[in-house]
Homo-oligomer: A and B are copies of this chain.
Amino acid sequence: MSAEPLTPAEAAAAEKSAEEVEKGYRQPTVDVDVMRGLLDGRYAEVRQLVRDNLVQHAGLLEEAERLGSEEFRERVKEVVVELAATGQTGMGLPTEYGGGGDVGASIAAFETLALGDLSVLVKVGVQFGLFGGAILQLGTQEHHDRWMADIVSGRLLGSFAMTETGHGSNVQALGTVAVFDPETDEFVITTPDDDARKDYIGNAARHAELAVVFAQLEVGGERHGVHAFVVPVRVDGEPAPGVRIEDCGPKMGLNGVDNGRFWFDGVRVPRSHLLNKFADVSAEGVYSSPIESPGRRFFTMLGTLVQGRVSVGGAAINAAKVALAIAVKYGDKRRQFEAADPESEQLLLDYGMHQRRLLPLLAENYALHFAQEVVADQLHGVFSGLTDDDEVRRLLESRAAGTKAFGTWHATRTIQECREACGGAGYLSTNRFHALKADTDVFTTFEGDNHVLLQLVAKGLLTDYAGEFEEMDQFGMVRFVTGLAVETVLEKSAVHKLLERIKDVLPGGDEWDQEAGLLDPNYQVAMLRFREEHMIGGVARRLKAGVDAGGNPGDVFSRVQDHVIATARAHVERLVLEAFVEKTAALPDGDEKVALNLLCDLYALSRIEADRAWFMEHGRLSIARSKAITREVNNLCRKIRPIAVDLVDAYGIPREMLRSEELLSSEAVGVDG
Q: Which A residues have a C-beta under 8 Å from some C-beta of B?
A: 1-6, 65-66, 68, 163, 165-170, 173-175, 192, 194-196, 199-200, 216, 248-253, 336-341, 345-346, 350-353, 356, 412, 416, 419-420, 423-424, 426-430, 433-434, 437-438, 441-442, 444-446, 449-451, 473, 475-476, 478, 511, 514, 552-555, 557-562, 564-565, 612-613, 616-619, 621-624, 626-627, 634, 662, 667-673
Chain B contacts of A424 at CB under 8 A? 163, 168, 199-200, 442, 445-446
A-B contact list, 14 entries, CB within 8 Å = A5-B619, A166-B669, A168-B424, A192-B673, A195-B668, A250-B429, A338-B478, A339-B553, A339-B554, A340-B553, A352-B559, A424-B445, A617-B626, A619-B623
A287 CB, nearest partner CB in chain B, Å: 20
Identify A352's interface contact among B192, B561, B634, B673, CB under 8 A: B561
In the complex, the answer to whether B671 meets A511 with C-beta atoms within 8 Å is no
In the complex, the answer to whether B622 meets A1 with C-beta atoms within 8 Å is yes
A375 CB, nearest partner CB in chain B, Å: 23
Closest 4 CB pairs of A and B: A340-B554, A166-B670, A339-B554, A337-B476
In the complex, the answer to whether A1 meets B445 with C-beta atoms within 8 Å is no
In the complex, the answer to whether B616 meets A3 with C-beta atoms within 8 Å is yes
When chains A and B are docked, how far (Å) is the Cα of A511 from the Cα of B555? 37
When chains A and B are docked, how far (Å) is the Cα of A672 from the Cα of B174? 8
Chain B contacts of A194 at CB under 8 A? 667-668
Chain B contacts of A419 at CB under 8 A? 441
Chain B contacts of A671 at CB under 8 A? 166, 195
Identify A249's interface contact among B175, B430, B441, CB under 8 A: B430
Chain B contacts of A662 at CB under 8 A? 165
When chains A and B are docked, how far (Å) is the Cα of A252 from the Cα of B553? 45
In the complex, the answer to whether B442 meets A476 with C-beta atoms within 8 Å is no
When chains A and B are docked, how far (Å) is the Cα of A90 from the Cα of B511? 68
With known contacts A173-B673, A634-B562, A669-B166, A350–B429 Cβ distance under 8 A: no
When chains A and B are docked, how far (Å) is the Cα of A351 from the Cα of B451? 12
In the complex, the answer to whether A252 meets B6 with C-beta atoms within 8 Å is no
Chain B contacts of A200 at CB under 8 A? 424, 427
With known contacts A356-B562, A427-B442, A451-B353, A175–B2 Cβ distance under 8 A: no
In the complex, the answer to whether B339 meets A478 with C-beta atoms within 8 Å is yes
In the complex, the answer to whether B423 meets A175 with C-beta atoms within 8 Å is no
Identify A613's interface contact among B339, B429, B554, B612, CB under 8 A: B612
- With a 10 A CB-CB cut-off, give which of A5, A173, A339, A350 has the most chain B CB atoms: A339
In the complex, the answer to whether A616 meets B613 with C-beta atoms within 8 Å is yes
- With a 10 A CB-CB cut-off, give which of A5, A424, A668 has the most chain B CB atoms: A424
A456 CB, nearest partner CB in chain B, Å: 12
Chain B contacts of A626 at CB under 8 A? 613, 616-617
Chain B contacts of A562 at CB under 8 A? 352-353, 356, 634
A325 CB, nearest partner CB in chain B, Å: 18
When chains A and B are docked, how far (Å) is the Cα of A444 from the Cα of B424? 9
When chains A and B are docked, how far (Å) is the Cα of A260 from the Cα of B450? 39
Chain B contacts of A559 at CB under 8 A? 352, 634
In the complex, the answer to whether B627 meets A429 with C-beta atoms within 8 Å is no
When chains A and B are docked, how far (Å) is the Cα of A511 from the Cα of B627? 23
In the complex, the answer to whether A444 meets B420 with C-beta atoms within 8 Å is yes
In the complex, the answer to whether B617 meets A3 with C-beta atoms within 8 Å is yes
In the complex, the answer to whether B248 meets A428 with C-beta atoms within 8 Å is yes
When chains A and B are docked, how far (Å) is the Cα of A326 from the Cα of B668? 41
* A482 to B, closest residue via Cβ: B342
- With a 10 A CB-CB cut-off, give which of A169, A350, A511, A616 has the most chain B CB atoms: A616
Chain B contacts of A412 at CB under 8 A? 416
In the complex, the answer to whether A168 meets B336 with C-beta atoms within 8 Å is yes
* A479 to B, closest residue via Cβ: B338
When chains A and B are docked, how far (Å) is the Cα of A175 from the Cα of B668? 13
Chain B contacts of A478 at CB under 8 A? 337-339, 346
When chains A and B are docked, how far (Å) is the Cα of A613 from the Cα of B621? 11
In the complex, the answer to whether B560 meets A672 with C-beta atoms within 8 Å is no
Chain B contacts of A169 at CB under 8 A? 336-337, 423
When chains A and B are docked, how far (Å) is the Cα of A75 from the Cα of B3? 61
In the complex, the answer to whether A670 meets B195 with C-beta atoms within 8 Å is yes
Identify A2's interface contact among B250, B430, B622, B670, CB under 8 A: B622
Chain B contacts of A554 at CB under 8 A? 339-341, 346, 350
When chains A and B are docked, how far (Å) is the Cα of A445 from the Cα of B555? 42
Chain B contacts of A622 at CB under 8 A? 1-3
- With a 10 A CB-CB cut-off, give which of A336, A442, A511, A634 has the most chain B CB atoms: A336
